[in-house]
């Protein structure tokens, strides 16, 4: 048997085609190294080649072992949890259609099918190809804001930001000199990341229908940066203090800019402060502001919680069917408490928390940096939406326009969340393949030798 035949037998057992060539090249190189050793010991070339191939072991068995190691993997646990979550969303659609007569069921099915079809395409797509198009993705995200397609801007900005972070070079400086004396030096990549991040947040503030979207995007940026700094293990505390301190200062200035233009008199200043205070307090203590919309909604939420059964619909139908809760996609969680009971919604919370935990553990397991930060960024998007919405629904969080992913009424955000999860599943799918592709030659030979010894 010659090298070519040996490699053909090995590769025939490997099902994932994109990795075949790389494995074949590595094994061929390894065989030739062994062959050269035998030739140096005095063997003829043909005999040395046959001896090297013989030393490698059974080609078919080697191929089977390598196939186990380097095949795509579906994250079944996360997928099953997502299906359960979509099931709760379907229950919500059935209940609302029964109560209102609006076509919630057909709408939900249509959005699920669209998201499913697009999600399959993303799942099989090599996510790493997006990295070199980070700039184009950023432009597309900004353009989507201009055309009021802000639903897709947050994940697109996140993907672009991850590309910039992964490509960051700490040694890439631009120096300003006067009379050949260095005045100061700035990092080009850091300046680029900071500038583009601030611009995206400004665009989100100016063009989005709510400030909540800018807060979500800023939080995602902050989480990614924090993880990046902690992983670098280089002056972590100092850098984090600098970043968080700068953010606090920027937020203070922004708040003043929002208040002061309407504060030409003490009366207007007092009015602005009163509004912000009322909005905050009414989210937690709605009974203090019963005449405001948030206070009134919060009181209905408290009534539903008070009258909810462990299982089944609350006794006071007029409360659980209150229009302000029933018709709003933002209050799906409290609506389900009133309709199906406390225990089923506790199960819903458990599923949501398990998905959050699974996202975090997946991010820890991924070795490819680009994939890791994609999961962190898009996962943070899901986690913020879920936790903020649940807390808001039980009067433990500020009232916002955030929906509960996969459970609230189907709209464009429904599809966007499916696509974000498809990216996360796509990263997980390639986790072992990427690990092989990013190893050094020495590490690959060690891995291949381990397989041979096991065979």
Is 261 part of any domain? Answer: no
DSSP 291: T
Yes or no: say if 237 and 229 are a contact pair by the CB < 8 Å rule: no
> How does pLDDT run across 88-136, given as a tens digit for each residue?
999 999 998 888 888 999 999 999 999 999 999 999 998 999 999 999 9
For residue 182, report the phi and psi dihedrals to the nearest 5 degrees: -70, 125
Q: State which of 224, 247, 270 marks the end of a domain.
A: 247
Q: Compute the Cα dihedral for 398, 402, 403, 404 and give only its sign.
A: negative
Cβ neighbours, 10 Å, residue 347: 13
Q: Which of 200, 218, 247 lies at the terminal end of a domain, its last residue?
A: 247
Phi, psi of 144 (to 5 degrees): -65, -30
SS3 for 246-264 is HHHHHHHHHHHHHHHHHCC
Same domain, 55 and 82: no
Identify the domain containing residue 232 by its residue range: 132-247
Per-block mean pLDDT, blocks of 10 residues, the chain (455 long): 84 79 83 86 85 85 80 91 96 89 91 95 93 95 87 94 91 69 75 92 86 91 93 81 82 67 52 70 85 83 89 68 65 91 96 96 92 96 95 90 90 92 95 57 47 46
The answer to whether position 274 is within a domain reads no
Are both 60 and 110 inside the same structural domain? no
In a domain, 308, yes or no: yes
Both 331 and 402 in one domain: the answer is yes
Residue 181 confidence (pLDDT): 65
Q: Which of helix, strand or coil describes residue 177?
A: strand
Residue count (the chain): 455
Same domain (yes/no): 220, 291: no
Distance of CA 18 to the CA centre of its chain: 25
Q: Are residues 84 and 139 in the same domain?
A: no
Which pLDDT score is estimated for 263?
47
- Say whether both 179 and 63 belong to one domain: no
Please tell me the pTM assigned to this model: 0.83
Cα–Cα distances in angstroms (integers) from residue 149 to residues 107, 115, 144, 355, 413, in the given order: 20, 17, 5, 27, 11
Q: What are the φ and ψ backbone dihedral angles of 328, each rounded to 5 degrees?
A: -100, 130
pLDDT at 442: 45
**Secondary structure, 3-state, 293-306:** HHHHHHHHHHHHHH
Question: Quick one: 314 and 350 in the same domain?
Answer: yes
Q: Same domain for 353 and 413?
A: yes
Say if 164 falls within a structural domain: yes
Q: Which residues lie closer than 8 Å to 224 by C-beta, 6 or more apart?
A: 158, 161, 162, 165, 373, 376, 377, 380
Q: Are residues 319 and 215 in the same domain?
A: no
The number of distinct structural domains making up the chain is: 3
Q: Does residue 271 fall inside a structural domain?
A: no
Domain assignment present for residue 262? The answer is no
Q: What is the pLDDT of residue 99?
A: 81
- Asked whether 8 and 33 are in contact (CB, 8 A), the reply is no
Same domain for 314 and 204:
no
Q: Is residue 173 part of a domain?
A: yes
- The answer as to whether 298 is a domain residue is yes
Q: Does residue 306 sit in the same domain as residue 393?
A: yes
Which of 133-139's residues contact partners 24+ apart within 8 Å by CB, and which partners?
A: 133/163, 134/159, 134/160, 134/162, 134/163, 134/164, 134/167, 135/160, 137/163, 138/196, 138/200
Looking at the fold, whether 425 and 298 belong to one and the same domain comes out as: yes
Determine the Cα angle at 383 with ends 377 and 385, to 5°.
105
């Amino acid at each position: 048997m010659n090298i070519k035949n040996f490699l053909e037998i090995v590769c025939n057992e490997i099902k994932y085609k994109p990795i075949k060539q790389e494995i074949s090249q590595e094994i061929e190189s390894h065989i030739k190294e062994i062959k050269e050793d035998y030739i140096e010991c005095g063997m003829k070339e043909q005999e040395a080649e046959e001896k090297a191939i013989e030393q490698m072991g059974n080609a078919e068995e080697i191929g089977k072992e390598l196939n186990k190691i380097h095949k795509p993997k579906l994250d079944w646990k996360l997928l099953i949890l997502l299906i359960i979550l979509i099931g709760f969303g379907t229950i919500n659609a059935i209940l609302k259609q029964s109560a209102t007569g609006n076509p919630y069921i057909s709408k939900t099915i249509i959005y699920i099918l669209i998201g499913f079809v697009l999600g399959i395409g993303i799942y099989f797509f090599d996510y790493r190809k997006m990295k070199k198009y980070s700039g184009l993705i950023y432009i597309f995200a900004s353009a989507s804001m201009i055309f009021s397609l802000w639903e897709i801007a947050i994940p697109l900005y996140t993907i672009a930001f991850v590309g910039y972070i992964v490509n960051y070079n700490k040694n890439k400086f631009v120096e300003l000199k006067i009379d050949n004396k260095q005045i100061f030096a700035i990092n080009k990549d850091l300046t680029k990341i900071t500038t583009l991040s601030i611009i995206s947040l400004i665009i989100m503030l100016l063009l989005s229908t709510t400030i909540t979207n800018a807060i979500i995007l800023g939080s995602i940026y902050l989480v990614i940066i924090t993880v990046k700094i902690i992983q670098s293990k280089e002056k972590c505390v100092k850098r984090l203090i600098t970043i968080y301190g700068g953010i606090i200062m920027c937020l203070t200035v922004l708040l003043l800019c929002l208040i002061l233009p309407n504060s030409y008199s003490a009366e207007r200043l007092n009015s602005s402060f009163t509004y912000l205070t009322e909005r905050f307090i009414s989210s937690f203590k709605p009974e203090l502001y019963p005449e405001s919309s948030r206070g009134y909604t919060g009181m209905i939420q408290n009534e539903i919680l008070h009258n909810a059964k462990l299982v089944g619909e609350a006794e006071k139908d007029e409360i659980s069917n209150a229009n302000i809760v029933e018709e709003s996609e933002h209050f799906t969680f409290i609506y389900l408490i009133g309709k199906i009971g406390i225990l089923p919604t506790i199960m819903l919370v458990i599923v949501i928390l398990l998905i959050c935990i699974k996202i975090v553990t997946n991010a820890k397991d991924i070795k490819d940096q680009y994939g890791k930060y994609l999961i962190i960024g898009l996962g943070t998007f899901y986690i913020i939406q879920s936790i903020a919405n649940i807390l808001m629904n039980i009067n433990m969080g500020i009232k916002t326009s955030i929906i509960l992913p996969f459970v609230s009424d189907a709209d464009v955000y429904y599809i966007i969340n499916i696509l974000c999860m498809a990216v996360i599943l796509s990263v997980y799918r390639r986790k072992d393949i990427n690990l092989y592709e990013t190893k050094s030659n020495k590490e690959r030979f060690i891995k291949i030798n381990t397989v041979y010894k096991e065979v």
